Amino acid sequence: MHKLPDFVESHTWLHTGYFLPGKIISDRTLHLVLRLLRRYHRNDQTEPTASLETMDPVLREALKHTRTIFLSDGQPHYEDLSTLPEMWWVSVKLFVEDRLLADEELMDLVADRCRAGDYEVTHYDALHHQQELFISFPVINCDQDLNQRGWALMVIGLAEHYRMEIAAGRLSVDRDYVFGPRA
């Protein structure tokens, strides 16, 4: 396990609320972060073009209380995503029979489907908010240096991170929300 390097602070596209400086991450996740940073430095040294003004103010306000697919202490887990300059979601479709998988296995399934290219990308709206049988993670690309495959790699790292959080007992998948019908 490694501490995420402090220099990551200058790379706002890593700040999805999950890759924060000082956070403890695995060898595999550290490798992913460093690979993305190397790609960034190799391809483009320009300043980010997106700003907080890019997003509609009403939408930005709604992102202050964004529901995730997780439970924390048995309660729905919410995050403030309103400070992100632009919001994209990578969503993985589940099947009813996936409900039988353990929470850690669901995170493995998300990573495997992302590796296989079996995911959908939406702008601003997470598919798990709109319909059951989806797991979605936020990604940003204000530096405009990552393509959708890069976002999928970030989600693979996020799934690994959440797998560790689940294994440590800090989070669980909100199965009623993920597998249940939307009102």
Tell me the pLDDT tens digit for each residue of 61-77: 777 888 899 999 999 99
> Is it the case that residue 142 has pLDDT exceeding 70?
no
- What pLDDT sits at residue 34? 53
- What pLDDT sits at residue 161? 94
> Is it the case that residue 20 has pLDDT exceeding 50?
no
> Is it the case that residue 102 has pLDDT exceeding 50?
yes
Domain interval for residue 13:
2-179
Q: Which of 23-32, 91-100, 135-144 has the lowest mean pLDDT?
A: 23-32
Where residue 40 falls (left for φ over 0; alpha for ψ -120 to 50; beta otherwise) is alpha
Contact 18, 140 (CB under 8 A): no
In whole angstroms, give the CA distance from residue 92 to residue 134.
6
Q: Which of 69-78, 129-138, 142-151 has the lowest mean pLDDT?
A: 142-151
User: Is 96 in a helix, a strand, or coil?
Assistant: helix
- What pLDDT sits at residue 67? 86
Contact 179, 94 (CB under 8 A): yes
pTM: 0.68
Task: Kindly indicate the confidence band of residue 7, based on its pLDDT and cuts at 50, 70 and 90.
Answer: very low
Task: Kindly indicate the confidence band of residue 94, based on its pLDDT and cuts at 50, 70 and 90.
Answer: very high
- What pLDDT sits at residue 79? 86
Q: Which of 31-40, 92-101, 168-177 has the lowest mean pLDDT?
A: 31-40
DSSP string, 150-176: HHHHHHHHHHHHHHHHHHTTS-EE-HH
Question: 109 φ, ψ to 5°?
Answer: -65, -45
Where residue 117 falls (left for φ over 0; alpha for ψ -120 to 50; beta otherwise) is left
In whole angstroms, give the CA distance from residue 48 to residue 12.
8
> Is it the case that residue 101 has pLDDT exceeding 60?
yes
Buried b (16+ CB within 10 A) or exposed e, 129-167: beeebbbbbbbbbbbebbeeebbbbbbbbbbbbbbbbbe
Residues comprising the chain, all counted:
183
Q: Which of 55-69, 96-110, 135-149 has the lowest mean pLDDT?
A: 135-149
Other C-beta atoms closer than 10 Å to the C-beta of 41 total 11
State the total domains in the chain.
1
